[in-house]
Amino acid sequence: MPVYNEEATINEIVDKVLAVVLSNDLAKELIIVDDFSSDGSWAALQELAAQHQEITLVRHQKNRGKGAAIRTGLGHVSGDVIVIQDADLEYDPADYPKLLKPIEDGLADVVYGSRFMGETRRVFRLTHAVANRFLTFLSNVVTGLNLTDMETCYKMFKADLVAGVELTAERFGIEPELTALFAKNGVRVYEVPISYAGRSYVAGKKIGVKDGIEAIYAIMKYNLFTPSPGKSSGKPSEDD
């Protein structure tokens, strides 16, 4: 879980994640990476980590971006399956069992939670919907996949797919980079519908037009001009 200035929602989203019961009572670990928040997020996270042994807490010493926070978090994973969770309340952890089922059933290696497949959701602004669909279409053209929502936060995947892989995206380019990695490795990718309650910029949404342009660059870079990610020699540090 990457965190940057989410003091208003961090307690609730952590409670929601820890409350999820998985099939066969599978154990969970929650790795939280604070990306040098400047509000009260870090203090709140320290309190939460003291209360819950399932939490592993890491902090960057400067703000680096969502991709960098995810990369740091991946370096601390000890479980078999990973899901990325934003620290706001747009995505509902109650969808975890739905995401996990194709992997448990031996059908998938990666499962994307799609915001465009029919579940109850907050209506997108037209510009956001068009931008997301365009980025997904462009990604599909170069990856050969047929996703409906490449930019979704909810990507659940087997941990061994990223073990030792040297990812490089610092910001929101992590979504195209992971998608390119999965496509190049020829893994089995499924999609399931998820609920979605997108927030406004007033409520703290951080992605904008600049990030959309960077996403186009990332799609082309990681699919057409970057070889399959190599293996790193060890875990990334908090400020690698």
> Which residue range(s) make up the domain with 68?
2-224
Residue 118 lies in a domain: yes
Torsion of CA 179, 182, 184, 187, to 10 degrees: -140
Angle among Cα 62, 68, 69 to the nearest 5 degrees reads 80
Q: How far apart are CA 104 and CA 52, in angstroms?
A: 26
Q: Quick check: 198 pLDDT over 80?
A: no
Residue 229 lies in a domain: no
Residue 50 lies in a domain: yes
In this predicted model, which residue has the larger pLDDT, 227 or 23? 23
Confidence of residue 23 (pLDDT cuts 50, 70, 90): confident
Average of per-residue pLDDT values in the chain? 91
pLDDT of residue 234: 43
In this predicted model, which residue has the larger pLDDT, 56 or 233? 56
Residue 239 lies in a domain: no
Residue 232 lies in a domain: no
Query: For the ranges 78-82, 130-134, 203-207, which has the lowest average pLDDT?
Result: 203-207
> How many structural domains does the chain have?
1
Q: How far apart are CA 53 and CA 72, in angstroms?
A: 19
Phi, psi values for residue 148, rounded to 5°: -100, -15
Q: Quick check: 150 pLDDT over 90?
A: yes
Chain centroid, CA 40 distance in Å: 22
pLDDT of residue 204: 44
Q: Other CB atoms closer than 10 Å to residue 106's CB: what's the count?
A: 8
Take residue 126 and report the two structure tokens written for it.
């037209």
Q: Quick check: 49 pLDDT over 60?
A: yes
In this predicted model, which residue has the larger pLDDT, 99 or 116? 99
Residue 48 lies in a domain: yes
CATH number for the domain spanning 195: value is: 3.90.550.10
Q: How far apart are CA 125 and CA 174, in angstroms?
A: 23
For the segment 149-169, the average pLDDT, to the nearest whole number, is 96
